[in-house]
Structure 1
Amino acid sequence: MSGNETKDIHPAIDPGRRKFLGTTAMAGAALGLTACGASQSSGDKAAAGSAATAASSGHDAYEVPPGKLDSYYIISSGGHSGEVRILGCPSGRTIKRIPVFNIDPMLGWGITNESRAIIGTRPDGQLKYWTGDTHHIHGSYKDGTYDGKYFWVNDKLNARVARIRGDTFETDKITELPNVQGQHGLFSDKRDPVDAAINYTTRVFAGAEFHIPLPNDGRDEESPDKYGCLFTCLDANSMDVRWQCRIDGNMDLVATSYDGKLAASNQYNTENGIHYEDMMSAEQDACVFFHVARIEAAVKAGKFTTIGDSKVPVVDGRKEANADPKTALTCYVPVPKNPHGVNASPDGKYFVCSGKLSPTCSVIDLALVNKWFDGELAKPRDAVVAEPNVGLGPLHTAFDGRGNAYTTLFLDSKIVKWSVDGAIAQFKGDAKAKVIIDAIDVHYQPGHGFTSMGETKEPDGKFFNSGNKFSKDRFLPVGPLHVETEQLLDITGEKMKLIHDHTAYPEPHDAIIVRADIIKTRQIYDLNEFPNAVKTKEESTIERNGNKVHIRLMSQAPAYSMREFKVKKGDLVTITLTNHDKVEDLTHGFGIPKYNINFVVNPQETKSVTFVADKPGIFWCYCTHFCHALHLEMRSRLIVEA
C-alpha cells in the first residue's frame, strides 16, 4: 500500500449500535439521539473508547496528513442535486462539486451564455430544464481501463446524458434522449465491437426505466400494450444519438462487455405493469442483452422505424421479434426477482445481477450468452452458471480482481464478500464449495458499492466504498434531513475492515474509484481556445448596435480593464470577461447586484452573460472570488441611465 493510505484508524463498530435499526423513530427520539447534551449510550462509549485506543496505538496508515495527496479520485453522482462530486480516497474529502443539470452561482453554471448553450434553452431564451437527478457515472476506456478523458452521467429526471471532461472536471455536452423517461442506467463501451483495431470508447449506452406510450403525445394513456422502453446508444465523441432499441419490460442499470460485443441491462417489471402491484407478480424478471454489431448492421440495412418527431433509428428488440437466436438482436436471460444492478467481472467472463427481492445473485456467463446468439445454447436461462444465496436485499456487486465479489445487502445492512468460482462450483453440485468468505456490518442500509478500479481490467483490490442510504446516529444532528453515510472498507485481506465514515449530502448513488495517476488535469486554460476572448487592452471596449450593448472586459488582479461602463435602461447587455492572469488557482469572480449575475473565470478563460438592464442606477460589479490582497477593491461600475 502507498504511504498515504492508512490502517485501521477505526476499529470494527460495536454491533450493538445496529440495534437502532430495529427501533422506531419515536424510540430513537426517546433515546435522546438528537440531543447534544445527552449522555452516551454504552455502544457510543465503547466505540469512542475503541477509537481512542486505535488512535493512540498509531494505526494511521490510512490517514492523508496535511500536505499529502490522496491515491484515488472517487467520482460520484449527486442524486437530485443534479451534480457530480469529486472526493479523495482514502481521505473521503470532498474536493469539487461539478454542476451538470443544476444551476450553480459560484461557477456561473446556468448563468453564463456558454453553460446555458450546453444545458439547452427554450425559444424564449429561458433554460429548458434547471433541475436533474444524477445516478450513474462511468468513464472512457482504453485497453480495458480508464483513460481519464471523459466521464458520463445520467439525468433520470429529464432523460439526458451529460459528458464531463477529465482535464477540467467540467461539463462540456448534454444530450436529451428522444421518447425516453427515467434514463437511469448508463455505461460506456470498453471496445468497438465492429473494428477489432479500436480498443477505446466509441459509444455510451443508456437504459430507460419508465414505460411510456410510444409516442408519448397524449394518446394511449390507458393502453399499456402501447407502452414501451428504449435502450439508447450515443456516439461518445459527438454525443449524438446513434440508435435506439425497443424492448419488453423496463431497464435499471447497464453493463458492457470488455470485448465490445454485448451491452446489457437488468430488468424489473417484465410484466409491463403500470401500477406497483402489477410490477411484483412475476417470480423471475430478466437481464436483457443487446448484440451491438447486429443492431448496428440492422440500422445500416434500413431495418428500423422512427417514433414521433424523432429521426433516430429504432430497431425492434422485443421477444416476439427475436425468437430466432441466429438473427436475434436481444436475449432475455431470466433472473429472480426485481433485480437491482448488473456488473461486469474484471476478467471479462461474467455479468452479475443482484436479486433485491431474492437473496441471490445471478452469475451470467457471457460466453454462453454468445452461444445462444449463435444458436448453440437451448435456453437463455442456461447462461446462468451460479446463483448463490448472499443475504437479504442484494443490490450492487463489485470485484477485487482476485476472484471475489462484494455485494451490498440493503436489508441486512452488510457487505458480503463471496467467491465467484465457489458459487459456480456450488451451482454445479459441489456441496463443500466455499461461497461466502466474509460479511461486515455497515451503517445503515447500503445501496451502491464499488471497489478501487473495480470496473476495469486493472482492479487492485484495495478499497470498497459502501454508499449507505441512511446515517441516523453517525453524525451531529442537523434537523429532519440527515446527511448520508459513505463508509470505506479495506479489502486487501481475507477479512474486510471498516476504515472510516465520510459524509455525503443527499442523495448520491453510484460512483467509481479511479487511480490518481490516470487523471491528468490542466491548471490554466489556453486563451486561444475561446473565440470571443478579449485578448488585449485595446479589445476592451463597449460596442453598441441599437439597444444591444456588448461590454468586453479583461480581469487581471486586482482590477478590471474598465473602471465603469454606461448603458441605458432597457438595453440588452452582454458582458464578456477574459481572465488574463496566468497563475495557477488565480480565479476571478464577477457579480452584479440586483441582476442575478454571478460567475467565475479561471486563468486564461473567457465567459459571458447576457441580461436586460431594466433597473436604473449604479451597480458595483465586483470580484466574488478571493484573488489578491486588493480583492475588495477589485470593482467596476455598471451605470444604467434612466
Structure 2
Amino acid sequence: MSEHKDDGRMAETATIEPSVNEGRRRFLAGSAALGAAGMAGVAGVTGTGTLVRSQSAQAASESGDASIHVAPGQLDSYYGFWSSGQTGEVRVFGVPSMRELTRIPVFNRCSATGWGQTNESLAVLGENAKWQNGDLHHIHMSYTDGKYDGRYLYMNDKANTRVARVRLDIMRCDKMVHIPNAHGIHGLRVQKAPKTGYVFANGEMIVPLPNDGRDLDDPSQYWSVFTGIDGESMEIKWQVWVDGNLDNTNCDYSGRFAISTCYNAERGVVLAEKMRLERDWVVVFDIPAIERAVENGDYVTFGDSDIPVVDGRGEDNPFTRYIPVPKNPHGINASPDGNYLIANGKLSPTCTVIDARKLPDLFDDKIELRDVVAAEPELGLGPLHTTFDGRGNAYTTLFIDSQVVKWNVAEAIRHYAGDDVSYIRQKLDVHYQPGHLNASLAETAEADGRWLVVLSKFSKDRFLPSGPLHPENDQLVDISGDEMKLVHDGPTFAEPHDCILCRPDQVSPAKIYDRDDPYWSQARQWAEEDDITLETDSKVVRHGNRVRVYLTAVAPQYSMSEFRVRQGDEVTVIVTNLDKIEDLSHGFSIINYGINMEVNPQQTSSVTFTADRAGVYWYYCSWFCHALHMEMAGRMLVDPA
C-alpha cells in the first residue's frame, strides 16, 4: 500500500402559500379562520401541531409573523424526510409546521402496519428478515438533472450493512439488499445527473476480505469497500477496494465522480492507532473508469460473492485519488451550483473547499492532489456537516461549539488566496451538539434558502425531563433573510441522523392503491392457483395442512364472519380492501396470535402463521374505519388436532 501524505437572488421572508382545499379540508380551513382569533391570546397555543415552540417562535407568532404558522386545514410548503437512527424507520414531516405526517418502516418491525410480518414485507426483506433492528443513518431522494424527481428514497442500515429503497408513490419500502464484503454501511448518496443510476454506499469498518475467519489477528489485512448499486434494479454492480475507513459520501453534478471522506489513514483498530497521523483523505472515485475495468474483467472477487471488486488502494490506480485533508473529516457536501465540494473537518476547526471542476485534471495527472483545494476556512470547533442557501452562503454545524455558522463560499476562497476579507456572516447558538443539518432543496440545483433544519444530538434542559434517555432536538431556523432566526424546537426519539426537504410538487403520493400494483403479486399468484378472484371471492382453500383464507373488507364488515382451520395448519389469510375512499384503511388482527397488518383502500395484504392452538380466536379490524368499527370482527375456529 502506498502511503499518502501530505447565487445571486435574495429570498423574501418565507410565507405559507394558500393551498387548494377540497371537501372536509375546505371546511376545516374555513373554521380555522374563526378559531384563530380566539386562540391568539392563549400563551403557547398556536394551532401548528408542533410539539414544542421555542420562545423566539412564540414571539414571532405574537408579533403577527405568520412565516412558521400553518393553520388547521392548510398544507405545509415542504415535505421533510427524516432518518430515524436506531429505530430503523423513515419519518415524514411537514415543514415548517414540523408536524409528523407518517412513518415508513424499513429496517424495523412495525406492529401497526405488519411490516416484518406480512408476506408482502417478507418478500421485500428476503434474507434480511433475520435482522429485526436497524440503524438508519442517511436518506436521499432520486434525481433527474440535479433536481429531485420524487420516484424513490434510498437509505442505509449501518448496523446490518444494508441499503433499502422506498417507493414514494405508496411510501413503502420495495427493495432491500445486503452488501457483501463491506462492514457497516455509513455514508450513502445517489447519482445526481443525468438521472439517478447509481446509489453509492460506504463500507465504514475495516475487515479482512473475505471476512470468513482468516486474518483475525492481522489488521494489516483489514480493508473497506465502496459499493455501486443500480438504483432501478437494486443490484450491486461493483465495489472498490480502498484504504482507510470510509465515512460520508456525495456526488458531483456531472455524474462522473463520487467523493467520500475517509478517516483512519493508519488503518488502526484501537483509538490510539487511529490518531497517529496529522491528515486523512477525501477519496474521489472515477465512475466511468470503474465501469470500464469491470467490463474488461479487470477485477477480483472475494469468498462466496461474485461482485466485481476493483483495486482502488494507493496512489497508482485509475479509479481513485486520495486528497489529503485535515484529520478525521466527516461530512462531504456539494454546492448547488455544482462547483464545489466541502469536506468538514470534525477534529480540525476548518472545512476544505474542493473545486469539483478540477477533478478531471486530477485524474489526468495534470495537477497535484492539493491543487483542487480552493479554500480551508476556519469556522469553529467540530465542523460536521454543511448545507447551502443557493445565494452563495454555506451553513456548517459546529458540534463542540453548539452552533451553526453561516459563511460565504466565494469570500472564503478569496481569503485563502490572500485577500483580507471576512467570510463569516453569523454564528447561531443551537441546542445542543448539532450533527447533520439541511436547508430546503439544498442538495439539489434548486436550493431556495428558506428553511434550515438542525438535528441536535443533545437536548438537556429544553424539554420536560423524560428519564435518563433524553430526546434529541430537531430545530427549525428561518434563513430567508440576512440573519438566521431559530423558530422551533421539537423533541424526537432515538437519534434521527439526517433529513432532506423537498417541495410537495416533487412528490406525488397515491391516495388509494392501484389494483394492478405489483406489491401483492404473490397473493395474485395464489389466487390464480386457487381459481380465486381477489376482488369478489371469499373462500377457504385447503392444500393438505396448508390453508388459504380469502377475505374482502368493506366498512364495516369482512366478507366472512368466520373461517375454520385445524390445529397445526399453516394458515395464510389474504385480505383485500374494496373501499375506494381515501383514508378508509382497514386492519386485520387475530387476538392472541400476534397478527396485525394494514389493508389500505384497494390494497391486498396477506400473512402466514401456524394455527398452533385450538379454540375460538376473534379477528377484528384494527384501524378505526366506521361508526360500527367495533363490530367489524369474525371468528377463526381452530379444531383440535
Taking structure 2 as the reference length, the TM-score comes to 0.89
Aligned with 1:61: secondary structure? coil
Amino acid at match of 2:16: N
- Within 5 A, what are the aligned runs for 1:257-272? 257-272=252-267
Match of residue 4 from structure 1: 16
What is the aligned counterpart of 1:474 among 452, 462, 466? Answer: 462
Which whole-Å CA distance do the structure 2 matches of 1:153 and 1:54 have between them? Answer: 36
CA offset digits 1:515-557 (Å, max 9, x no partner): 1111111011122334435746752110111111110111111
CA positional deviation for 1:372:
1.3
Instruction: Specify the alignment match of 2:371 in structure 1.
Output: 382
Q: Which residue of 1 aligns with 2:490?
A: 502
Do structure 1's residue 543 and structure 2's residue 533 form an aligned pair?
no
Q: How big is each residue's C-alpha offset from its partner over 1:138-158, in whole Å with a ceiling of 9 and x where there is no partner?
A: 110012100000010000011
Deviations, residues 69-125 of structure 1 (Å, cap 9, x unaligned): 100011010001011111110011111111001000111100101101211248xxx
SS of residue in 1 equivalent to 2:291: helix
- Deviation string, structure 1 residues 262-292 (Cα, Å, up to 9, x no partner): 0010011111111111111111100000000
Contact 2:57-2:487 at 8 Å conserved across structures: no
Measure the CA separation in 2 of the matches of 1:504 and 1:49: 19
Q: 2:430: which partner in 1?
A: 442
Letter in 1 for 2:122: R
Partner of 2:478: 490
The aligned counterpart of 2:204 is 209
Cα distance, 1:50 vs. partner? Answer: 6.8
Matched with 2:65 is: 59
- Corresponding residue SS for 2:412: helix
The aligned residue for residue 607 of structure 2 is 609
- Mapped contact 2:57–2:486 kept (Cα < 8 A): no
Distance in 1 between residues matched to 2:553 and 2:250, nearest whole Å: 46
Are the aligned partners of 2:248 and 2:260 in contact in 1 as well (CA < 8 Å)? yes
Equivalent residue, structure 1, for 2:151: 149
Q: State whether residues 184 and 208 of structure 1, in contact with CA within 8 Å, keep that contact through their aligned partners in structure 2.
A: yes
SS in 1 for 2:294: helix
**2:247 equivalent to 1:249:** no
Distance across 2 between alignment mates of 1:156 and 1:171: 17
Distance 1:64 1:53, change over 3 A: closer
**Which runs of 5 or more residues in structure 2 are unaligned?**
1-12, 19-52, 525-531
Give the Cα–Cα distance (whole angstroms) in 2 for the partners of residues 54 and 456 of structure 1. 30
Equivalent residues of 1:214, 1:228 under 8 A apart? yes
The alignment yields a C-alpha RMSD, in angstroms, of 1.6
Deviation at 1:474, TM superposition (A): 1.1
Contact 1:173 1:239 in 2 (8 A): yes
Q: CA offset at residue 364 of structure 1?
A: 0.6
Distance in 2 of aligned mates of 1:350 and 1:55: 38
Aligned twin of 1:29:
none
CA distance in 2: counterparts of 1:235 and 1:434, whole angstroms: 44
Tell me the secondary structure at the aligned position of residue 135 of structure 1.
strand
Structure 1, unaligned runs of 5 or more:
7-46, 192-198, 323-327
Taking the aligned partners of 2:220 and 2:63, their CA distance within structure 1 comes to: 65
Is the 8 Å Cα contact of residues 448 and 466 (structure 1) preserved in structure 2? Answer: yes
- State how far apart, in whole Å, the 1-side matches of 2:285 and 2:143 are: 20
**Partner SS for 2:464:** coil
Question: 1:521 corresponds to which residue?
Answer: 509
Call closer, same or farther: CA 1:389–1:52 in 2, change over 3 Å: closer
Contact 1:438 1:494 in 2 (8 A): no
2:313 corresponds to? 318
* Separation (CA, whole Å) in 2 of partners of 1:504 and 1:279: 33
2:361 equivalent in structure 1: 371
Q: Secondary structure at the match of 1:252?
A: strand
Residue 246 of structure 2 aligns to a residue whose secondary structure is coil
Q: How does 1:387-406 map to 2 (within 5 A)?
A: 387-406=376-395
Q: How does 1:32-431 map to 2 (within 5 A)?
A: 54-121=60-127, 127-191=129-193, 199-322=194-317, 328-377=318-367, 379-430=368-419
Distance apart, 1:2 and its partner CA: 5.8
Alpha-carbon deviations, 1:148-202, whole Å to 9, x = none? Answer: 00010000011100000111111000010011111000000012xxxxxxx2111
Once residues 388 and 430 of structure 2 are traced to their aligned partners in structure 1, the CA distance between those partners, rounded to angstroms, is 18
Superposition deviation, residue 59 in structure 1: 2.5
* In 2, Cα distance between equivalents of 1:511 and 1:51: 21
Give me the whole-angstrom Cα distance separating, in 2, the residues matched to 1:303 and 1:211: 23
Does the C-alpha gap of structure 1 residues 270 and 87 become closer, same or farther in structure 2, counting only changes over 3 Å?
A: same
Stretches of 4+ aligned residues off by more than 4 angstroms: 47-54, 533-538
SS at match of 1:114: helix
Structure 2 CA distance for partners of 1:434 and 1:355, relative to 1, 3 Å? same
